[in-house]
Structure 1
Amino acid sequence: MSGSASNSEMLYRTLGSTGEKVSAIGLGGWHLSLSHVSEQLAIRIVRTAIDRGITFMDNSWDYNGGKSEIRMGKALKDGYRDKVFLMTKIDGRTYREATKQLDESLQRLQVDCIDLVQHHEIIRYEDPHRVFDPEGANAALVEAREAGKLRYIGFTGHKDPQIHLHMLEVAANYGFKFDAVQMPLSVMDAHYRSFEKLVVPELVKQNIGILGMKSMANGIALRSNTVTPIECLHYALNLPTSVVITGIDSMEILDQAFEAVRTFQPMNDQIVQNLLAKTVQAGARGEFEPFKTSSIYDGTAKNPDWLGEEPQRIQQLMQA
């Protein structure tokens, strides 16, 4: 694929218009603090991934009560920080909450600067307006970027491609262009409320870095008994993704990610259509993408206080 380079075990791609070279596979931070993953194992996973060529590190302020960032921070000590492109996410929609969460992430990760910070869970039509309010979260991230606390700004969401497009539209209205956008990209997504079909072309047009996640729909796609883990990763790698972020909770799953890269070849239309034909029935109603069709994955719905208060000017309008 254009913009791709490789070493013995990993592909590297360019992150949109930033010019940054990042590993085509990103290590998902959420899995590092699951109940069956010890801190020792989490650190081993991160450091082995880096030693073998994975440079893109995914995390979030809200993952497992902050434990995922703490563990990654420990793993990135002893010279490992300089070898990675570090990303995390914040949930705050207000200037105050975003600033607070960013500072907490910096402390947990034990770094002075995070390479990419993303507005997390843009899953409601009001989220873009709250983020770009004069007292909103984006003002906090822009200020933090100027202060050297972060380098690039993006956003994520797992609910609806139309909301992603709305976020891009609102950003453009404020004269702002994101550096990266994260979304579900998979053999299932292609069939239902598809980010691949609606959002990816716009990001390619604007040369914004494309971060794919949930290539196996958190493992749920595999329960459809239609595709293998390697096929899922190959499909996502075949899209114009800068990074495919995948959850890794064991050394065996880490090996699987490298095997997917080792065996990946750009897929022609026939191979793609064969994969999609296998998943069309399972994917037609979003059954294997519950993050689109339920609130189970909506952390900010369960914890609305993470977002912060509604903009003051809206509250004043209501009182007028």
Structure 2
Amino acid sequence: MRSNELQRREFLVTLAALSAAAQGLDAASSGGMVYRKLGSTYEKISAIGLGGYHIGVPKDANEGIKIIRSALDRGMNFLDNCWDYHDGDSEVRMGNALRDGYRQKAFLMTKFDGRTKASTIKQIDESLKRLQTDHIDLIQYHENIRMEDPDRFFAPGGALEGVMAAKQAGKVRYIGFTGHKDPAVHLRMLDIAAQHKFHFDSCQMPLNVMDAHFRSFTHQVVPQLVKEGIAVLGMKPIGSGEILKSGVVTPIECLHYALSLPTSTVINGCDSMDRLNQAFEAVRTFKPMSQADVVKLLAKTTQAAMTGQFEPFKTTSMFDGTARHPEWLG
């Protein structure tokens, strides 16, 4: 086994490189929101994005619509969603919120579960209908969590063919992939993409104060994304609340850490106006963390993070929707 000192040195080298990359992000502020470039594109998106799953949590659909419109009115233009969230209700709520000119304020992302050309096209078309739009700004291949998922994306008659058909029809603009389980699967996707000479526009993964210590996307995947000019989309900065159960960090600390990484946006679930206000407070008070500050913060989470207890999306199947519903894969 490698010595703790060697692991510490490797960690500091990676941290220094990521800090430099984060400092180099093309960022601008307006009306209290920070905007960053989406990878190698010229799109400017809000440094914190609105998570789509949590929009479907309030029992009153109007509350979800209120959260979306308030976010857009205050400058949070990156909207996340997925074809399968709450059996499509999250997209329905978002579509209703995007009426009355709100679509023009949004950079709209959603995801699909299909592993075949036919199922991919079907799900994208259903998302367009629910979202009440003629195009999706960023479409992402959802739950890249099994080692065979990259193969299914690039296979003949696979998901990529469906996505490219949608892009050629003007239904989607940019293409990315997501996953929450293991950085090895993300790295395999990037390797196979390179073999096919295909460049993803974005990649989404958990980036938080626990991830730095356990199956770390931060250390294993983010440097490769930065090298390839692929937008880094952070998710689960608070781990759906699980990280706070550790009792060692605050929500604002969690968000400031994720914002200090070379992320184009940090997608944060907001199922109430209080949670939305918290996200805006994190942006208002944000200053890029120094390497020393990051080391100090992560030192507080080391013991809590070592077994993955507070990242159940990595260690259990409770977040694996496509495992519970293999029919979604097509």
State the TM-score, normalizing by the size of structure 1: 0.95
How many angstroms apart in 1 are the aligned matches of 2:222 and 2:160? Answer: 22
Q: Match for residue 118 of structure 2? A: 96
1:73-222 aligned at under 5 Å gives the runs 73-222=95-244
Number of positions where the alignment pairs a residue of Structure 1 with one of Structure 2: 307
Q: Match for residue 18 of structure 2? A: none
Superposed CA deviations along residues 157-201 of structure 1, whole A, max 9, x for unmatched, are 000001000001111111111000000000000000000000000
State the percentage of identical aligned residues.
Answer: 61
Deviation at 1:134, TM superposition (A): 1.4
Deviation at 1:8, TM superposition (A): 2.5
1:11-22 aligned at under 5 Å gives the runs 11-22=34-45
Q: Give the AA of the match of 2:132.
A: Q
SS at 2:151 equivalent: helix
2:51 corresponds, among 24, 28, 31, to 28
Moved over 3 A (4+): none
How many angstroms apart in 2 are the aligned matches of 1:17 and 1:273? Answer: 29
Q: Alpha carbon RMSD of aligned pairs, Å? A: 0.7
Show structure 2 runs of 5+ residues with no match: 1-22
Is the Cα–Cα contact under 8 Å of residues 92 and 101 in structure 1 kept in the other structure? Answer: yes
Is the Cα–Cα contact under 8 Å of residues 158 and 184 in structure 1 kept in the other structure? Answer: yes
Q: Give the AA of the match of 2:213.
A: H
Is the Cα–Cα contact under 8 Å of residues 179 and 208 in structure 1 kept in the other structure? Answer: yes
Q: Match for residue 259 of structure 1? A: 281
Show structure 1 runs of 5+ residues with no match: 309-320
SS at 1:17 equivalent: coil
How many angstroms apart in 2 are the aligned matches of 1:269 and 1:7? Answer: 26
Deviation at 1:218, TM superposition (A): 0.8
Q: Match for residue 296 of structure 1? A: 318
How many angstroms apart in 1 are the aligned matches of 2:291 and 2:159? Answer: 41
Superposed CA deviations along residues 116-148 of structure 1, whole A, max 9, x for unmatched, are 000000000100111101100111101111110
Superposed CA deviations along residues 35-89 of structure 1, whole A, max 9, x for unmatched, are x341111111000100000000000000000000000000000000011100000
How many angstroms apart in 1 are the aligned matches of 2:46 and 2:65? Answer: 19
